[in-house]
Amino acid sequence: MGQFISWLVEKLKQSQAREQTRYFSKLLTHRKFSELESVTGVPIKDKSYYIQALMHRSFLEQNPNFAVSNERLEFLGDSVLNLTVAEYLFEVYPDEDEGFLTKVRAKLVNRVALAEGAERIGLSRFLLVSKNLSSTFTYGSRTVLADAFEALIGAIYLDNGFDGARNFIKKNLVEPSANSGEHLIDENYKSQLLEYAQANKFENPFYKVVREEGPQHNRMFTVQVEINGQAYGEGKGRNKKSAEQSAAHAAMTKINQSNGNS
C-alpha cells in the first residue's frame, strides 16, 4: 500500500511538472528565450533558472500551483552583484580608500541603477507578473525591475558561472555608469543639506510627510523639509527615504540658485 501511494504521488508530481512546462511554454516561448539570450549576451542552458528569476511574487497569487518567486534568486544575485562591483572598483581605483570604494559601490548597485539596467535590456517584457500589477506596471515598476534584475544575475550565475554573471554586470550596469561618470556624482542630497545647515549654524533639517497617496501596494509619499521652521523644499517618492532625498534635492537646488550657483 505504501509503495502504491509513493508511486501515485510521484506520478502526480510528474503530471504537475508537465503541466507547468506546457503552461510556461505559452508564457515564455522559444522566441522569448532567444530574445532574452540576445539582450543578456549569455547562453541559456537551464531555462528553469530564468523562469524563476522572471516570476514576481504577485504572479503566484493568481497561479497558486507555482510555489517559488524570484526572491531567492534576487538574494543570490545581490551577493554576486556586490562582489563583482567591489572587485571592479578595487582594480580601477587602487589609490582610493575603503570609504570611497563603499560610497561608489552603493551608487552603482542602488535601486535606481538596477532599474535603469533592467530598462536598458528591456527586462519588463519578459516578466511574469499578476494581471493587476501588469495593468499598473508603469507606475510602480522600478522596484519590481530592480529586484528582477538582481534575480536575473542570480540565474545567470547558476547557469553560466561567475564569469558569465560578471560579464553581464559589467556590460549592462557598471560600464554604462562608468562611461557617463554618474557613479562619481554625489547624490546624497540629505547629507549636502545637513552640511549646509551646520556650516551656517542653522538647525538641522527637519523632514515631515505632508501627504500620502495611492493604494497600499503602490504608495506615493510627499515630504517637506524645513530648516529653522522655514520650508526649503518638497519632494515625492515611493517610500519616505526617497521622498526625503527628493525634498533635500529641491532644497539644495533652491539654495544654489539663490547663491548664484548652477
Q: What domain range includes position 196?
A: 189-258
Please count the structural domains in the chain: 2
Residue 3, domain member (yes or no): no
Q: And the C-alpha cell for 228?
A: 529653522
Cα-based distances in Å from 259 to 191, 193, 232, 252, 254: 19, 14, 14, 10, 9
CA–CA distance, 238 with 217 (Å, rounded to integer)? 10
pLDDT of residue 139: 41
Kindly report, residue by residue over 68-124, the tens digit of the pLDDT: 668 899 999 999 999 999 999 999 999 988 988 988 898 889 888 899 899 999 998
Residue 10, domain member (yes or no): no
Residue 80, domain member (yes or no): yes
What CATH number is attached to the domain comprising 173? 1.10.1520.10
| 28 vs 205, more confident | 205
| pLDDT > 80? residue 180 | no
Does residue 97 share a domain with residue 54? yes
Residue where a domain stops, chosen among 145, 165, 184: 184
Does residue 203 share a domain with residue 169? no
Residue 167, domain member (yes or no): yes
Catalytic machinery residues: 78, 150
